[in-house]
Chain A
């Protein structure tokens, strides 16, 4: 277990510099920017906000390896900086540290990390009790989930995954903004669990260059913050007063949505960006959308908007408190703010999760093939040879990866094998198209990446009302929960089967499969009953999903809805 032991000590040396003792127990940072290097650091722009960076995004700071929470990369210092980090530094970000995650982004609770599980602060636990915890308890042997209740874990709550460290950094006030990656919900889920905002942009908007890929066709860089405003400013409206300009990312304080990155082949070209913006509101001032919103006033942007309530998202496993809060939010938006809540059907939803867990592991098995102990990671020279030529890969890989990563590599290797390819990978890609088609059908806006499709009304669920003979009413956004449950206790998570954990992603993967922008905002839920001993995190995640490249409006609307949920906007 030396492979596990080494990163652990590495972790401690970085994190002990934190003077806030109980934070250490949250285990949300893998490395923190040392104060002296912070001063030596070249700053392209004056300070505006603190930034935590998920540790699967490349940074070049001398105190910041890019580990992906994997033993293979525990000492990997990237020779280059990710585009998104350069872009944010050019807009006044100061990187405070690299945050913990599920190894390579694979997980839903940030427990599958070589650096130990992340926890969010239990709200009802006195700090003294927390301090008694031995940090080593984070160092769980993940291969054998503990069934017996560990008293030390009993009060800790899952931060969600895989960007759990980033979410906790924002929730605990260590960073104003955090970078995460969202492949199937890895930004939105931890945001929902931690009661903050998590935004996944349209695929191709923010550069992935420097993001260690998990599943390239699904991976997006996401942003986490306590409110929507900062995210909106960075992505859509641009930082006021410029950012000092001239950063490596170029553009200084300009909005991120404009910037193509030539080093990322999936970053939309400037021409495609302009084409996408046509027919979209909120990207420039002419539509009046920005001004309307900037006034910020009590949700008038919501007037006349149609929010789709996807029937298939009302799953059996949905916590009744979340179902109630969801329905209540829809009612408030409709009754108090002139919006309309429209039931819609997305029939392919039930297959989306299965498709996701075929496609993502398939791409992961390919992406992780490079970690073989030749160039990356430690080579196991003792095991018997398993390759012509006498070099060993299986031993190195077997020792180097955590269990969840190994599970997904095996899953992906199987679904790509010549005998299973047609039945799994190809079918999953078909499902993916159906998911996208479903979304295109319910949104009023067209998807600029595809030809307009015609839809067969017979495919629709019978419960959907027809607006006219052409079909049901089309909507502007989808309104749904982010996760089926509130943040569970870590203890319970550890005893879950992998399949249970995969279930958490059921409401977030459809938007990922379709490449659509989505955001999770905190939504208060009522305590189940008086004297409930269960953890009573007061918020769940409310998810808004928009049509492709409708990010500007999505963020404006999310901002308004969040203000209503927080009670600062009153119905008229």
Chain B
């Protein structure tokens, strides 16, 4: 899983420096979490002349005289629709008689030290307007200076998306007026993007709609480099503050082909892209942190029109900032379009918005309000020439892509696909790195490297995922880095798990120790001392003690013992495990606290029943 960080790779490829921290999971520490409000587009959204669904359909109905029969049918349908409870999302992936088509554009912030066209540093939540070069504020007479470093995460991203890297690409200006864009245009790659024709394969485990089967392939039309805009903070009294730190940050825009048929698949695609970008260290952060946002293009057509090859009129929903929003917005927009069409109306090509938690998309601007961007090749910027050697080097150093890694986690360690995926998605790839760190320490401590039995690996995965998750509602509280370290040092968790694996402590003690480390009550590297200090070592009672306890609980349980006899005699097929565990529970309650292992109790009890009590019952 070696994944060289983008920063290290840049230094190596562009300056010829080799990272001195050449360990296997080398990565650069970064700010784990930040919040970036894309308020600007919300501002645009808020000012729209909202046309509700009702208005649209009312206008449409008024325009066309519908026959009475159809009107009655529509009314009945509307009544049914309004009276019906909101459908479960899983059941709402398709509408019979209609076919949905979705294309997605994803914007992701690249992981680079400098802006796309100026040597100003990239930053997050730093002092506003502290990282601004002349060109960033379009100072008259300033010129763009392309920063080649940005190509490394960009090309890695494109390779992870299976794209063909173009040997020559160019920059174009996209013109529109907005206060967050000081030059009056955004520099992007419209005519000749740097990567084309990629594909992303989604498996059932990625959470695609069941109707898409085991796997579905989504084509990527192109990936292009472009500039971010300034950050707007709205102040009371119609005042807007602008932070130009964000202006000119490098973004990649990933544009799919219109090949997505189901809302859940769209969300799965965005999730997968985030995972792919994270796995090659191309992107600074995930969707929740604002480093990734999506626009979706939605159209519907009647199922019997599918053969014509013509898609319905599409609308674009801008600026979706969570996976849930992607799925919900598509469902809402699909249903809106179907309602409009069934009412005899026409879907307008327009731009719409979505706010979290709403049930309807809202109109932002129609086609007539659409700006003509007047794309023009930027006359100051030469073409970007990407050599085959750079591409092949980046391809070879990209490391293992997520799908291969999930397979490997499932095959090697016996993890479930759900756990494997969760590990990889959490903390922008930090959690899986943490898992590897813990596992490495654990195997070293136990002397288990290369063991065929992977019980310890599942134990580590379980704790890295579930026990760690219980510590806090917010995974950001863990302060997980991309290197895979957090408030629980991996060595300490490995120490706890090592004792647990050897049954030197009980699971309950192990959990208490984890809390202790989390709260800082157990000092770093002090797990063993803490166990000593609290006398928490697990001193198990002897076999004889277990036998005595077993004998004690069996007394008076004749009916239960009868169940075992019936199994023995072949009258029931299933072993009465429940009854056995009932008796184990009695044993645990009867015995001394903190000195018993349920597994040992079960083993001894079962042996006593098999060896002593059943023969006795048979004999009697």
Contacts and interface: CB of A to CB of B under 8 A. Distances in A.
A217 B379 CA distance: 5
A148 interface: no
A388 B380 contact: no
A117 interface: no
A98 to B, nearest CB: 13
A370 B138 contact: yes
B238 to A, nearest CB: 7
Contacts of A58: 140-141
A375 B182 contact: yes
B158 to A, nearest CB: 23
A522 to B, nearest CB: 31
Contacts of B365: 388
B182 A374 contact: yes
Interface stretch (A76-84, A151-159, A294-302, A550-558): A76-84
Contacts of A73: 140
Interface in B19-72: 43-44, 47-48
B372 interface: yes
Contact of A78 (B140, B372, B380): B140
A366 interface: yes
B379 A372 contact: no
Nearest to A261: B143
B515 interface: no
B538 interface: no
Interface in B447-489: none
Given A369-B177, A375-B137, A389 B44 contact: yes
Task: Provide the main secondary structure of the chain B interface.
Answer: loop
- Max count, chain A CB within 10 A of own CB: residue among B48, B178, B382: B178
Contacts of B364: 388
Interface string A63-74: 000101000010
A416 B47 contact: no
Nearest to B45: A388
A209 B141 contact: yes
A265 B381 contact: yes
Contacts of B175: 365-366, 369, 416
Nearest to B138: A370
A518 interface: no
Contacts, number: 108
A418 interface: yes
Interface in B362-386: 364-365, 369, 372, 374-376, 379-382
Contact of A370 (B43, B144, B146, B182): B182
B183 A369 contact: yes
Contacts of A263: 143, 145
Contacts of B43: 389
A506 interface: no
B303 interface: no
Nearest to B135: A263
A425 B376 contact: yes
B184 interface: yes
B143 A265 contact: yes
A366 B134 contact: no
Contacts of B134: 79-80
Contacts of B47: 388-390
Contacts of A455: none
Contact of A265 (B145, B179, B372, B375): B145
A66 B375 CA distance: 29
Contact of B376 (A66, A265, A363, A390): A363
Contact of B141 (A78, A262, A363, A368): A78
Contacts of A215: 379
A518 B325 CA distance: 60
A217 B372 CA distance: 23
Contacts of B138: 370, 375-376
Contacts of B179: 374, 389, 391
Contacts of A425: 376
Task: Determine the interface band of chain B, counting residues with CB < 8 A from chain A.
Answer: 35 or more
A212 interface: yes
A216 B376 contact: no
Given A209-B141, A363-B379, A389-B47, A265 B146 contact: yes
Contacts of B140: 58, 66, 68, 73, 76, 78, 212, 370, 376
A407 B6 CA distance: 48
B537 interface: no
Contacts of B177: 369, 372, 387, 393
A264 B145 CA distance: 8
B613 interface: no
B143 A366 contact: no
Interface string A399-433: 00000000000000100111001000100000000
B371 to A, nearest CB: 10
Nearest to B48: A388
A266 interface: yes
A442 interface: no
A210 interface: yes
A372 B178 CA distance: 9
B413 interface: no
Nearest to A70: B140
Contact of A211 (B141, B146, B178): B141
A79 B140 CA distance: 10
B376 A369 contact: no
Q: Which of A66, A264, A366, A387 has the most CB of B within 10 A?
A: A366
B183 A416 contact: no
A57 B183 CA distance: 18
A210 to B, nearest CB: 4
Contacts of A544: none
A177 interface: no
Contacts of A30: none
B234 to A, nearest CB: 10
A350 B369 CA distance: 39
A68 B364 CA distance: 38
B173 interface: yes
B603 to A, nearest CB: 72
Given A388-B365, A416-B376, A82 B141 contact: yes
B132 to A, nearest CB: 11
Contacts of A78: 139-141
Given A370-B184, A388-B47, A389-B47, A208 B137 contact: no
A78 B179 CA distance: 21
A391 to B, nearest CB: 6
Nearest to B382: A265
Interface of A: 57-58, 66, 68, 73, 76, 78-80, 82, 208-213, 215-217, 262-266, 362-363, 365-366, 368-372, 374-376, 387-391, 393, 413, 416-418, 421, 425
25 contacts: A58-B141, A80-B139, A80-B141, A82-B141, A209-B142, A212-B141, A263-B145, A265-B145, A265-B380, A265-B382, A366-B175, A366-B374, A366-B376, A368-B184, A371-B184, A374-B182, A376-B138, A387-B177, A388-B48, A388-B369, A389-B178, A393-B177, A416-B375, A421-B374, A421-B375
Q: Which 6 A-B pairs have the closest CB atoms?
A: A369-B184, A217-B379, A416-B374, A216-B379, A210-B141, A370-B138
Given A57-B141, A266-B382, A376-B140, 9 more contacts: A66-B140, A68-B140, A216-B380, A266-B143, A363-B376, A366-B175, A369-B175, A370-B183, A372-B177
